[in-house]
Amino acid sequence: MKVIISGGGTGGHIYPAIAIANELKAIDPATEILFVGAEGKMEMEKVPRAGYTILGLPVVGIKRELTLSNLAFPFKLGRSLIRAQQIVRDFQPDAAIGVGGYASGPLLLAASLKGVPTLIQEQNSYAGLTNKVLARWAKRICVAYPGMDAFFSADKIKMTGNPVRSDIQSANQQVDAGRAFFSLESTRSTLLIIGGSQGARTINESIEGGLQRFVDAGIQVIWQTGPAFIERARTAIAKTGSALIKAYDFIYDMDKAYAVADSVVSRAGALSVSELCLVGRPAILVPLPTAAEDHQTKNAMSLVDHQAALLVNDRTAREDLVTAALNLLADPAQQLKLSQQIKTLAKPNAARDIANEVIKLTK
């Protein structure tokens, strides 16, 4: 079996794609997989790191405001469609998977025109524009939230949940390894802060302003800042003179980070939400307000409505986030309740279920 997986742009698209690929290979090691991404985007580095081949398309997104870069959009889209058709013709896939992001549009359209069965994996509670356009040609649409028939034909929908890397699923077995990896003390509480693969400015500035409060409370902090904020974070940490705060531009060993976290502060991207459900960590979610159709708030509310997470609004985070985190870390009963509730929303077999849907399409 030969499968193309297309999409990317963010870790929320890339890591589910890699999880699906890993499951397809686990089911049948002879399966050939080719990734297609957007040139210059993070998938061009993350996918090869996971051991897969990826080809790039020159496609870019269109900005909502009027900019000069929008003038190049139709030309790059046209070139991407031609390149996608060439890739499909050369690779001759039995199925094509789109996980969202710029590259999935041209590739899945090219595959559909060649009669290749296509599957869409929609991670969010509000469907992205690319997936809504591609849905008319897709044979199957795998989703993570109820009510997605508002965007897609009900007879194509399969509720699978979002695929998560296998190492995340075994995170709870990595506590000792995680403490050694991050040089943590077992007697102190640990807060994990993740703002997505590129970091989150609001979260970063909120934490920066409250670093001394964490130090005074004796809290250990693992802080993923994203590459743009890392030097500023290191400067702020140095001013505290404490070794309790540890900043990283990106954390590859997320299984170890989740393993040692007593609580987590996070954006509410679909992948982060799915991972938190699987590892069962009490979380404070700070949805990105500029996400398309405010889908991160919808993702977060799917947990908050089940008393499975707390929510801090982005616009009040600089005043409220550190206090909320300290209060949660000081309240074991609330931590236990949130942990128990969030575990009930986990879908640990999502990657395998999606892989099986792909296999069905090829029969």
Residue 190 marked in a binding site: no
Residue 153 marked in a binding site: no
Three-state secondary structure call for residue 13: helix
**Closest by Cα among 108, 80, 74, 77 to 93:** 108
Residue 271 marked in a binding site: yes
Residue 224 marked in a binding site: no
**What are the backbone dihedrals phi and psi of residue 272, each rounded to the nearest 5 degrees, phi first?**
-60, -45
Sign of the torsion angle spanned by Cα atoms 197, 270, 124, 28: positive
Residue 208 marked in a binding site: no
State the DSSP H helix or E strand holding residue 233, giving kind and residue range, or none if neither.
helix 230-240
**What are the backbone dihedrals phi and psi of residue 279, each rounded to the nearest 5 degrees, phi first?**
-85, -15
**Spatial separation of the C-alpha atoms in residues 354 and 22, rounded to whole Å:** 11
Residue 263 marked in a binding site: no
Chain centre to alpha carbon of residue 275? 8
Residue 71 marked in a binding site: no
Residue 272 marked in a binding site: yes
**What are the backbone dihedrals phi and psi of residue 198, each rounded to the nearest 5 degrees, phi first?**
-100, 0
Residue 10 marked in a binding site: yes
DSSP string for residues in 240-271: HT-SSEEEES--S-HHHHHHH-SEEEE---HH
**Closest by Cα among 125, 159, 118, 117 to 142:** 159
Three-state secondary structure call for residue 23: helix
**Closest by Cα among 260, 266, 278, 259 to 317:** 266
Residue 273 marked in a binding site: yes
Residue 11 marked in a binding site: yes
Residue 296 marked in a binding site: yes
Per-residue tokens: 144: 């993570």
**Spatial separation of the C-alpha atoms in residues 274 and 254, rounded to whole Å:** 13
Contact 122, 143 (CB under 8 A): yes
Q: Binding site: what residues are annotated?
A: 10-12, 124, 165, 197, 251, 270-275, 296
Q: Binding site for UDP-N-acetyl-alpha-D-glucosamine: what residues are annotated?
A: 10-12, 124, 165, 197, 251, 270-275, 296
